[in-house]
Amino acid sequence: MVACTVLSWILLIHWWSQKNQRGPKTWPFVGAAIEQLMNYDRMHDWLVNYLSELKTVVVPMPFTTYTYIADPANVEHVLKTNFANYPKGETYHSYMEVLLGDGIFNVDGELWRKQRKTASFEFASKNLRDFSTKVFREYSLKLSSILTQASCHNQEIDMQELLMRMTLDSICKVGFGVEIGTLAPNLPDNRFAQAFDTANIIVTLRFIDPLWKIKRFLHLGSEALLDKSIKVIDDFTYSVIKRRKAEIQEARETSDGTKIKYDILTRFIELSEDPESNLTDKSLRDVVLNFVIAGRDTTATTLTWGVYMAMTHNHVAEKLYSELKAFEADRAKEEKVSLVQYDKEDLESFNQRVTQFAGLLNYDSMGKLYYLHAVITETLRLYPAVPQDPKGILEDDVLPDGTKVKAGGMVTYVPYSMGRMEYNWGPDAASFKPERWLKDGVFQNASPFKFTAFQAGPRICLGKDSAYLQMKMALAILCRFFKFKLVPDHPVKYRMMTILSMEHGLKLTVERRS
Look at residue 391 and tell me if it is in a domain: yes
CATH number at residue 432: 3.30.43.20
Closest CA to 419 of 450, 391, 386, 456: 450
Look at residue 270 and tell me if it is in a domain: no
Look at residue 205 and tell me if it is in a domain: no
What is the distance between the terminal CA atoms of the chain, rounded to a whole angstrom? 80
CB–CB of 48/59 below 8 Å? Answer: no
> In terms of DSSP H, where are the helices of 219-359?
221-253, 264-272, 281-292, 298-312, 314-334, 347-359
Per-chain mean pLDDT for the chain:
89
Q: At what angle do helices 298-312 and 314-334 cross, to 10 degrees?
A: 110
Q: Distance between CA atoms of 166 and 302, rounded to whole angstroms?
A: 13
Closest CA to 70 of 57, 80, 82, 85: 57
Look at residue 71 and tell me if it is in a domain: yes
Question: Can you give the C-alpha Rg of the chain in angstroms?
Answer: 24
| Mean pLDDT for the stretch of residues 303-329 | 97
Mean pLDDT lowest among 81-95, 270-284, 290-304, 328-342: 270-284
Look at residue 441 and tell me if it is in a domain: yes
Domain that holds residue 430: 22-85+385-452
What does pTM read for this prediction? 0.90
DSSP secondary structure, 63-100, as one string: S-EEEEE--HHHHHIIIIITGGG--SHHHHHHHHHHHH
Q: What is the pLDDT of residue 420?
A: 97
Look at residue 366 and tell me if it is in a domain: no
Annotated binding site, which residues? 461
| Mean pLDDT for the stretch of residues 374-384 | 98
Look at residue 56 and tell me if it is in a domain: yes
Q: What is the pLDDT of residue 48?
A: 95
Annotated binding site for heme, which residues? 461
Q: Report the amino acid identity of residue 350.
A: F
Mean pLDDT lowest among 69-73, 290-294, 466-470, 477-481: 290-294
Query: How confident is residue 253, by pLDDT bands cut at 50, 70 and 90?
Result: confident
| Mean pLDDT for the stretch of residues 114-118 | 87
Q: What is the pLDDT of residue 370?
A: 98
> In terms of DSSP H, where are the helices of 383-500?
415-418, 422-425, 464-481
Give 332-374 pLDDT, tens digit per residue: 999 898 999 988 888 999 999 999 999 999 999 999 999 999 9
Query: How confident is residue 254, by pLDDT bands cut at 50, 70 and 90?
Result: confident
Residue 327 has pLDDT above 50, yes or no: yes
CB–CB of 25/18 below 8 Å? Answer: yes
| Mean pLDDT for the stretch of residues 423-445 | 96
Query: How confident is residue 183, by pLDDT bands cut at 50, 70 and 90?
Result: very high
Per cent of the chain over pLDDT 70 is 93
Q: Which residues of 480-507 are buried (b: 16+ CB within 10 A; e: fewer)?
A: bbbbbeeeeeeeeebebbbbbbbeebbb
Q: What is the pLDDT of residue 20?
A: 43
Residue 80 has pLDDT above 90, yes or no: yes
Query: How confident is residue 16, by pLDDT bands cut at 50, 70 and 90?
Result: very low
CB atoms within 10 A of CB 465: 14
Look at residue 422 and tell me if it is in a domain: yes
DSSP secondary structure, 6-47, as one string: HHHHHHHHHHHHTTT--SS--BTTTBTHHHHHHTGGGHHHHH
Query: How confident is residue 9, by pLDDT bands cut at 50, 70 and 90?
Result: very low
Residue 164 has pLDDT above 90, yes or no: yes
SS3 106: coil
Residue 126 has pLDDT above 60, yes or no: yes
Most confident of 101-105, 259-263, 388-392: 388-392
Q: Into how many domains does the chain fold?
A: 1
Residue 391 forms beta bridges with which residues? 411
Give 190-233 pLDDT, tens digit per residue: 898 889 889 988 998 888 788 899 999 999 999 999 999 999 99
| Mean pLDDT for the stretch of residues 256-273 | 76
Residue 2 has pLDDT above 80, yes or no: no
Q: Is 260 or 42 the better-scoring residue by pLDDT?
A: 42
Per cent of the chain over pLDDT 90 is 65
